[in-house]
Structure 1
Amino acid sequence: MGFSGGLVVVRCDGDALELEALQQDEPEWPEEPSPPSATWYVAGQGWQVVNLWSELPDEPEEFLQALALETGSPTMLAVILDSDTAYVTAFGTSSGVSEGWIEARSAAGYASRGAPLPGGPTAGAGERVWFEWIDGRLPDHADELAAWAEAAGLRGDREQILSVMRGDEGRVEDRFLRLLMALGVPPRS
């Protein structure tokens, strides 16, 4: 069983865990409290990736907008499913909202067994139909993510972005870090 959870990308001057939008109520656990959110990866120029240990936001767009308003920078959320696939939502005040998947084939498997995605095939559509729909949207998503990078003052490489989104090598959380590099997020210093 792989990692499942949310990874939030923010740029701020201090510790991202101090941001108001990232403050979470601790869930009640029968035996012991859940681990707190943790900064999972710190990149250069104030970019941080925070692991959300507790509940994922019910309204990702509103959550990302609140973070963007608080930090003054574009934000991103990757919801990772068992290290197989990730649903990436990015928000910037000038670039808008962008949503898409890393690893379309695994995403199609999840989507074909669960609730249909907004704008996607109807319930009961097979995995092939879902794959074609998800994969067909990836070029537009790569363009939108390149615009997100530009809004963040970064130099994103659209072809690398698309390559990472379509790739199927390794754990999806590692590919998410490669996506950040393709977006121009500077590496750790």
Structure 2
Amino acid sequence: MGFSGDFVLARSERPLMELPQFGAGASCGTCEGGCFRPCAELTDGWQTVRSRHGSPIDGIRDWLRRLVAETGAPALLARVMDSDICQVWGLAPSGAAWTAFLDPVMAADYDIPVPGPEEVRATAGRVAGWAAEAGFRAERAALLSVLTKRADPFVEDLFFELIEACGLPPVDPAAAGDEPDPPAHPGHRPDANCPSGAELEAAVLDLARDRHLVLECAGDDQCYAQVWLRPDGTYQLEYRDRGPAEHYWTRTASVAQVITALTGWVAGEVAWRESFDWTSLASWFTEPTA
């Protein structure tokens, strides 16, 4: 079971979550506070958000037109199905528009026609034009590579490769601030036996199905993070922060997200938590009060 939902890239002087397209008004009715959440902030007001589940957006082209009119800047929307299929729509204020399927080989498995070389080059040209209107210079070779390559393994990762190929710059350290992320809690210190870096990445990648990897705090048995590779091939990620009342879990099909999360945990950071929708497990470990 992979990710299904939308990713949106847009530019705004305000946080995207304050725009009517993403706030509580965009809720499907089951997501408290709306169906979107911030995903990543780039430079000069460029931001990405993702839907929490499925997609609350109907009428993609009309929705994009309203977003572009609201922001006065080009925008992208990527719709992902089960981490296999990803269709991307681009629209600029000039009205220039394009669409493409990422990982065309997988798309063909779903009976979606695979574009020929000339069509791919034409699409790359339209994407480059979109990037130019956004104020960036796209690398044509990089665009062609992204538009034709296979996902490895999750197609949503290709959306972010496409953004990079469009020439959007990385996060500006000055805009992000000089202060590091705050620690998970005072005294957070991974146990000396916790893997880190390449060793941690290998430990996650080498997990067999129905096996766990547990990372513990030094001297605090109420502080740990763990991942379970479930029998269905998805990952169940959990963390406990100083006590059973602060025990949370989530699921993901992305091994890259798991590695990033556990790397952040080892570093004592908390920003990695924002990439997931967490469910509390406190009731499993605490007795109800009379």
Q: TM-score, normalised by structure 2?
A: 0.54
Q: CA deviation at 1:18?
A: 0.6
Partner of 1:156: 138
Deviation per residue, 1:68-94 (Å, 9 max, x gap): 111110011000122123100000022
Give deviations 1:118-175, integer Å, cap 9, x for gaps. xxxxxxxxx7xx23x4766322111111000001011111210110111114222222
Where does residue 262 of structure 2 map in the other structure? none
**1:22 alignment counterpart:** 22
Contact 1:101 1:134 in 2 (8 A): no
1:187 Cα deviation after fit: 1.1
- State the partner residue of 2:86: 86
Assess if the C-alpha contact under 8 Å between 1:83 and 1:173 holds in 2. yes
- Native 8 Å contact 2:27 2:56 kept in 1: no
Number of the residue aligned with 2:48: 49
Q: Does 1:173 align with 2:156?
A: yes
Which protein has the bigger helix share?
Answer: 1
**Equivalent-residue separation in structure 1 for 2:163 and 2:26 (angstroms):** 28
**Shift of the alpha carbon at 1:41?**
1.3
Q: CA deviation at 1:22?
A: 2.4
Query: Which residue of structure 2 aligns with residue 123 of structure 1?
Result: none
Q: How does 1:35-184 map to 2 (within 5 A)?
A: 36-53=35-52, 55-94=55-94, 96-110=96-110, 112=111, 130-131=113-114, 133=115, 137-170=119-152, 171-184=154-167
The match for 1:187 is 170
Q: CA deviation at 1:34?
A: 8.4
State how far apart, in whole Å, the 1-side matches of 2:82 and 2:149 are.
16
Q: Which residue of 2 aligns with 1:120?
A: none
Percent of paired sites with the same residue: 30
Q: Given that residues 9 and 77 in structure 1 are in contact (C-alpha distance below 8 angstroms), is that contact kept between their aligned partners in structure 2? A: yes
Contact between 1:95 and 1:144, CA under 8 Å: does it hold in 2?
Answer: no
Q: Which has the higher contact order (CA 8 A, sep 6+)?
A: 1
Q: CA deviation at 1:52?
A: 2.0
| Corresponding residue for residue 117 of structure 1 | none
SS of structure 2 residue aligned to 1:186 = coil
* In structure 1, C-alpha distance between the alignment counterparts of 2:109 and 2:2, rounded to whole Å: 16
- AA of the residue aligned to 1:27: C
Report the aligned-residue RMSD.
2.1
Structure 1 unmatched ranges of 5 or more: 113-126
Q: Which residue of 2 aligns with 1:5?
A: 5
Residues 156 and 183 of structure 1 are in contact (CA less than 8 Å); yes or no, is this contact kept in structure 2? yes
Which stretch has the larger CA shift, 35-44 or 138-147? 35-44
Residue 27 of structure 1 deviates from its aligned partner by: 2.9
- Who wins on radius of gyration, i.e. which is larger? 2
Can you list the C-alpha shifts for 1:37-56, whole angstroms capped at 9, x where unaligned? 11111111211111023634
